[in-house]
Structure 1
Amino acid sequence: MRHILPFAQPGQTIGLFGGSFNPPHRGHVHVSREALKRFGLDRVWWLVSPGNPLKTKGPAPLSRRMAAARALVTHPRIEVTDIEAHLGTRYTAQTLERLCALYPGVRFVWLMGADNLAQFHLWQRWEWIMESVPVGVLARPGDRISARTSVAAQRYRHAKLPASAAHLLGRTTPPAWCFLNVPMLDVSSSEIRARGEWE
């Protein structure tokens, strides 16, 4: 299994950026670069998911989304992966459990947009995720208020790091999370699909 998964050394801090990437776009790259810089990560792995359990309509075929993502990403420390397809995991908690077992000594940070934080309490075993890995939240336009007043934000307000300490997130014992306001590119996968640019 390890030969088809990305390489990471014990002691490294890896940001995990999951999603359907349907389609991937420059906004995903921008967020990944900001996460690398602001959270002090060694690498960011895109986890291009086989499908999103919270969405009824399936995304484009995985092979197409992977090819589009790899064509888009040129940063040497951002790696596009289909880890979940190889692991056979469907939910984030399952994926994190397997990765922590496969990569002893590697520190993982779960990355998400503020829109995901707003509905995080709907995710399977979301509290286990918060208790198991640090979480980095990157604000997107229009999602800041709902994210900050979300169930997850309220439940774990005691574990929130100030933005000034964002670079320490990966080395902080969970539960730990950090909310960053970052300059965002006004582009989304749903808008690209709505324009008919991704069938």
Structure 2
Amino acid sequence: MSQETWVLASHNAGKIKEMEQILAPFGIALKSARDLDLPEPEETETTFRGNAALKARAACEATGLPCLADDSGLSVDALGGDPGIYSARWAGEPRDFMRAMQRVEGALNETGASDRTARFVCTIALARPGEGVSFFEGEVVGDIVWPPRGPGGFGYDPVFQPRGHDRTFGEMSADEKRQLSHRARALDAMTRAEFGS
């Protein structure tokens, strides 16, 4: 199988490793924006799809190679979809996701809503030179729990319990989470469309 080089428009080491493992069996050698010293464009769009496309196009134009980018976050129904595309920004600078989780819990308490439905959403954009951008989406529905549970995962994982399970993402192993995650579902949609499997 001949190898094709793609670029992942990300500086996130965990995301890079996860996608390398998924794409390697399809003959894709993945380079990251970090490997290539590409700048991170400012995310100025108002949707997951818009921000993913912005990052994929910027990397594609800079390298002339097929480029993948994802934008993902936590959307809480009772908060009108917040924090949504601002999920990382809710953690402030420097990033403090305990503060972000407390902010979600505080906002839920202020609404007085009993509905704690939330979803992790991921949109992957694939930009190829001279072509348009293809989009692949994944979502996992669950509930916000409090207090946070489990030392695993990252971000909001300790307060997100996927439906049909009695543990949060923070209490699951990396492999267990990967089988359920929004990113895995979006990548699965992409590999089926691109590689027929």
TM-score tier after normalising by the smaller chain length: 0.3 to 0.5
The structure with higher relative contact order (CA 8 Å, sep 6+) is 1
TM-score (norm. length: structure 1): 0.32
The structure with the larger Rg is 2
Which structure shows the higher strand fraction?
Answer: 2
TM-score (norm. length: structure 2): 0.33
